[in-house]
Amino acid sequence: MSKLNILEFPDPRLTTVARDVDTFDDSLKKLVQDMTETMYSANGIGLAATQVNVHKRLLVLDVSENQDQPRVYINPQILDSEGDQVHEEGCLSVPGIYASVSRAENITLRAQDLDGNSFEEKLTGLHSVCVQHEMDHLIGRLFVDYLSPLKRNMVRKKLEKQRKTAAKEAEEHLVI
Q: Which residues are catalytic?
A: 134
Do residues 101 and 108 touch, judged by C-beta distance below 8 A? no
Alpha-carbon distance of 91 to 128, in angstroms, equals 15
CA dihedral (31, 118, 66, 27) in degrees, to 10, reads -10
The upper half-sphere exposure of residue 61, i.e. CA atoms within 13 Å in the direction of its Cβ, equals 22
Rounded to a whole number, what is the distance in angstroms from the first to the last CA of the chain?
Answer: 32
